[in-house]
Amino acid sequence: MAKKRIVSEINKRADRLPPGQHWINYPLIYDIVERLPDFDISKYRLKVWGEVEEDLELTYDEILSFPSIELVADFHCVTRWSVREIQWEGVQTLEILKKVKPKDGANFVMVHCLEGYTTNLPLSYLWEEDSILAYRMFGEIIPKEHGYPLRLVVPKLYAWKSAKYVWGIEIRREDRPGYWEERGYHMLGDPWKEQRFWGD
């Protein structure tokens, strides 16, 4: 059976390229560390916890066993470049949320990554059909520098919210700044509102 294929609604907007952006051909690589840590994929676990009815812990193979989708979505970096139609494959985040059952009053997420990066966003974005945990990119296993083993892809927000090397999703009642948000980046990061920094 063919995989479900979704084209993000942001690709269909009349103002498809957000203000202040320009198109490039392939996403640039940014990291908060000079050298990414090595890790044993057999020991990798994705954990989801916090304001949920059931905590969740999954091996990499268990993640791969979830129903997957192909997602085609433009990608917008806060540093003013954008890439058209990146092809991702992975698990819709809404499928993970259905498993953990967020509690009433759970409104935010903190995403935790293997190299120490964190980022925050409203829980509502993870219920969107075009938000996924991606493990493939352009038909291949996602390259390490682009987020292996799992990259959160949230096309409706600037790319720093699409965290790489994800190991944890913490469901929260209250918002709290992540790595770049603590350093002056916007708490939400909507590209069409140019929410780059605090005060935008």
Residue 115 has pLDDT above 80, yes or no: yes
Q: What is the mean predicted confidence (pLDDT) over 100-120?
A: 97
Q: Does residue 62 form part of some domain?
A: yes
**Predicted pLDDT at 190:** 98
Both structure tokens of 114: 């293997």
β-pairing, 118-122 with 4-7?
unpaired
Q: Examine residue 126 and state whether it is found in any structural domain, yes or no.
A: yes
C-alpha 26/C-alpha 139 separation (Å) is: 15
Contacts of residue 163, defined as CB under 8 A and 6 or more positions apart, other chains included, come to 111, 113, 117, 118, 119, 147, 151, 152
Domain that holds residue 184: 4-26+40-193
Establish if 19 belongs to a structural domain: yes
* CATH at residue 104: 3.90.420.10
State the average pLDDT over residues 1-15. Answer: 89
Number of domains in the chain: 1
Is the entire prediction scored with pTM above 0.85?
Answer: yes
- CB contact set of 79 (below 8 Å; sequence gap of 6+): 28, 30
Proportion of the chain above pLDDT 90, given as a percent: 94
Average pLDDT of 100-127? 97
Predicted pLDDT of residue 146: 96
Structural domain includes residue 44: yes
Is the pLDDT at 2 greater than 80? The verdict is no
**Is the alpha carbon torsion for 79, 80, 81, 87 positive or negative?**
positive
**What mean pLDDT is predicted for residues 161-178?**
98
pLDDT at 121 > cutoff 90? yes
Using CA atoms, how far apart are residues 90 and 176, in angstroms rounded to an integer? 27
The stretch 26-30 carries a mean pLDDT of 95
pLDDT digits (tens, 9 = 90+) for 88-97: 999 999 999 9
Helix and strand tally (H, E) in the chain?
Answer: 2, 12
pLDDT value at position 159? 98
Is there a domain that residue 35 lies in?
A: no
Q: Confidence class of residue 30 from pLDDT cuts 50, 70 and 90? A: very high
Q: Is the pLDDT score of 1 beyond 70?
A: no
Query: Model confidence over 122-137: pLDDT tens digits?
Result: 999 999 999 999 999 9
Assess if residue 33 is contained within a domain: no
Residue 32 lies in a domain: no
In a domain, 101, yes or no: yes
